[in-house]
Chain A
Amino acid sequence: QVQLVQSGAEVKKPGASVKVSCKASGYTFTSYGISWVRQAPGQGLEWMGWISAYNGNTNYAQKLQGRVTMTTDTSTSTAYMELRSLRSDDTAVYYCAREDRSWYYFDYWGQGTLVTVSS
């Protein structure tokens, strides 16, 4: 069965960086893209960007351009999301999600990783 398993919770200081991992199993990793979506406490869902696991192409949300980098390691079927220059409003649960190739919906999600930014 398809599974996306994310790394554990992180606490970071303002200005620091965080790197969250998302290990995929149960499907051919390079046949799908991975999107990252975050959710601030009590708030809605915000798409952060997408990476092709096939060729590493990326598409980032404009508001995060320059602060976010998404990568994949096909040898371990793992996707990564790094966010730099953290601010308090980056405190959120970060999700990875597999993206369908035709209609671009998110059919499988990781369990979420809480990133807390606090001094």
Chain B
Amino acid sequence: DIRVTQSPSSLSASVGDRVTITCRSSQIINSYLNWYQQHPGKAPKLLIYAASNLQSGVPSRFSGSGSGTDFTLTISGLQPEDFATYYCQQSYHSPTFGQGTRLEIE
């Protein structure tokens, strides 16, 4: 299986901050990397697909970049509703998820 390693595992930030979450795959996955947001008790929500494509309806403060093995999710100008857990997921081969990054209010 392709391993996906996310960092950091947790992150504290304030409203208005810019934060970056990284994801590294154990082998080259081209751009088959997706990002999800999950609030407690809710289903995950797709934010970014194919590394850098914003899903319809997702605010433009979310952006993704990278290809190959290294990827980033950036949130510019944190809003209160952005405090959640974020997961990356590779879809190059049998899907695997990163372990998650919990974004908390500082």
Residue numbers of A with Cβ under 8 A of B are: 35, 37, 44-47, 59, 61-62, 95, 97, 100, 103-107, 109-112
Q: With A45-B44, A100-B49 in contact, do A105 and B97 touch (Cβ < 8 Å)? A: no
Scoring A44, A95, A100, A104 by chain B CB atoms within 10 A of each residue's CB, the highest score goes to: A104
Interface contact B46-A45, CB-CB below 8 Å: no
| Docked CA distance A111–B38 (Å) | 12
State A47–B45 Cα separation when bound (angstroms).
Answer: 15
Q: Could you show 23 A-B contacts with beta carbons less than 8 Å apart?
A: A44-B87, A44-B97, A44-B100, A45-B36, A45-B44, A45-B89, A45-B97, A47-B94, A47-B95, A59-B94, A62-B94, A95-B44, A100-B49, A103-B91, A105-B34, A105-B49, A106-B34, A106-B46, A106-B89, A107-B46, A109-B43, A109-B44, A112-B43
For A112, the chain B residues whose CB sits under 8 A away are 43
Tell me, in angstroms, the Cα distance from A44 to B102 when the chains sit together.
11
Given A95-B43, A110-B43: A103 and B32 interface contact (C-beta under 8 Å):
yes
Across the two chains, which residue of chain B brings its CB closest to A47?
A: B95
Count of inter-chain pairs, beta carbons less than 8 A: 55
Residues in B with CB closer than 8 Å to A111 are 43
Known: A45-B97, A61-B94. A105 touches B89 (CB 8 A): yes
Nearest chain B CB to A16 CB, angstrom units: 25
B96 at the interface (CB under 8 A from A): yes
Task: Report the Cα distance A64→B100, complex, angstroms.
Answer: 22
Contacts of B36 in A (CB 8 A): 45, 106
> Closest chain A residue to B55 by CB distance?
A107
Most buried by B among A47, A62, A111: A47
Q: How far is the CB of B61 from chain A (nearest CB, A)?
A: 20
